[in-house]
Amino acid sequence: MIGNPGVVGRRVDQELEARHRLAGVAGELADHRGEIAGEGIPGFLWSESAAPGQDPLDYGTERAAREDANFSYRNAVVAESGGIVVGMLLGYRLPQPTAEDLAALPDIPPLLRPLVDLEYQVPGSFYVNALSVFEEHQGRGIGSALLAIAGQRARQAGASVLSLQVFAENEGACRLYRRHGYALVDRRPIIAHPCYPYSTEVLLMTRAVPE
C-alpha cells in the first residue's frame, strides 16, 4: 500500500497526528543511507543546524512538519507494506531562480553548491528531492511505485518534466532511473566529504512527465 499524506485524516486531531508521524518518517528516510536516499547530506546539515543537545533527526522532523516549505510532509508520500513504513518520496515543483538567487550561488557552501546549481538548470520541473526505500525492502518494486506517483504528482502540479539528482557512483539508483526513462542532461563535480561515500560527480537526470 502506498500512503498519501495529502489525504490522510479528516478531523483536525487525525490530521495533526498524521502530520507528526509523516514528518518523522520523512526526516528519518531523507537521512537514510540506503541505495536510494538522501546520501547522508540531510543528517549532516541537520547536525550543523540543530540546537545544542538536540538530536539532528528531531531537528529534521521539525523541518518536515512545516506547512509552507518544499521540505514538508505535504510534499511527501509514504510507502507502507503490512502496516510498516518501507519507503518515502519527497517531490515538488522547482521555482524559477531569481537574479538574486543566481548571484548568490558562489556564496553557497561547496558541499551544496553543485546540487543547487543543477536545480537552477531545470526550473518548472517536478523535482524528486528524495526517493528512499529501506534496504531490507529494496528489490520489491517499491521505488518504481514511488516514481510512478512522482509522475502523477508532476501532472497535478502542471509540470511537463520530471527531474532528479543522483551521485554517479550510486549505480543501483542510476539503473533504476534509466529503467524508468530518465536520461542524463547535466553533471557537476563534487568535493569529497565525510557525510557521503562519493567523490566524483552528481548527475542531473530528467524525463518527460508520462501521460
What's the pLDDT tens digit per position in 55-65?
767 776 676 66
What crossing angle do the helices spanning 12-30 and 56-64 adopt, rounded to 10°? 130
The model's pTM is 0.78
Distance (Å, whole) CA 35 – CA 47: 22
Residue pair 180/207 in contact (Cβ under 8 Å)? The answer is yes
Distances (CA, A) of 86 to 6, 35, 137, 139, 182: 18, 13, 6, 12, 23
Strands 126-133 and 161-167: parallel
188 falls in which pLDDT band (50, 70, 90)? Answer: very high
Please tell me whether residue 63 adopts helix, strand or coil conformation. Answer: helix
CATH of 2-208, one of 3.40.250.10, 3.65.10.10, 3.40.630.30, 1.10.1740.10: 3.40.630.30
**pLDDT reported for residue 5:** 35
**Segments making up each domain of the chain, as ranges:** 2-208
